[in-house]
Chains A and B, each alone.
Chain A
Amino acid sequence: DGGITQSPKYLFRKEGQNVTLSCEQNLNHDAMYWYRQDPGQGLRLIYYSQIVNDFQKGDIAEGYSVSREKKESFPLTVTSAQKNPTAFYLCASRGQARYYGYTFGSGTRLTVV
């Protein structure tokens, strides 16, 4: 079955460490997105990529970095510069047709210890 796979499901990070969250899709979608969700709140856009080797900052990109070397993969690195990284991170992708919505992964919960 086609879909988006995020790993790991739970991740613990010590303060000062960088961590990378994986996002892989086999839907042949061009566009991919990273969102952050804090408790009781909606989703906020971190980064997005509309095509391989290109990506753009979203609303809250500070302290995060991404790469898009392959169409299927869009990893997110949470750097030590991100002051409050504990959150639920969601990856999504979208097909090309104008009306297409998103397909989401199951999320990664990151906790700083």
Chain B
Amino acid sequence: DAKTTQPPSMDCAEGRAANLPCNHSTISGNEYVYWYRQIHSQGPQYIIHGLKNNETNEMASLIITEDRKSSTLILPHATLRDTAVYYCIVRVAEYGNKLVFGAGTILRVKS
């Protein structure tokens, strides 16, 4: 019952920008979009979140469309260490504000 849709996998050349898309067409007006990534057998790592404005931090940029139905995570200069599963998530108000994780996108950065 995840509220987001992501491609199952993507490849990116080392040093190039990685653009990971996410559809969240049923998002409510006050729900934030979060991005996490998970390297094998580790806990998910927070990357960035946003509501309706574009956001940037030291790891990535988040571009949210004006209608908020989709977003794109941008890793500006991908490295081999960015190879991971990337999850786009919206927070669900019930269940104590749980985050619903879908299957995510496997990003493979190649040299």
A residues neighboring B (CB under 8 Å): 4, 6, 31, 33, 35, 40-45, 48-50, 56, 58-59, 88, 90, 92, 94, 99, 101-107, 109
Instruction: Please tell me if the beta carbons of A102 and B95 are within 8 angstroms of each other in the complex.
Output: no
Query: Chain B: interface secondary structure?
Result: loop
Name the contact of B96 in the complex, choosing from A40, A50, A59, A103 (C-beta under 8 A): A50
Chain B interface size band reads 20 to 34
Q: Mark B12-45, 1 if CB is under 8 A from A, else 0.
A: 0000000000000000000010101000011111
Q: Which chain A residues lie closer than 8 Å to B104 at the CB level?
A: 42
Q: Which chain B residues lie closer than 8 Å to A35 at the CB level?
A: 101
Name the contact of B46 in the complex, choosing from A40, A44, A103, A105 (C-beta under 8 A): A103
**Residue of B with least CB distance to A41:** B103
**Residue of B with least CB distance to A57:** B95
Q: Which 4 residue pairs of A and B lie closest in terms of their CB atoms, listed nearest first?
A: A104-B43, A42-B101, A43-B101, A48-B96
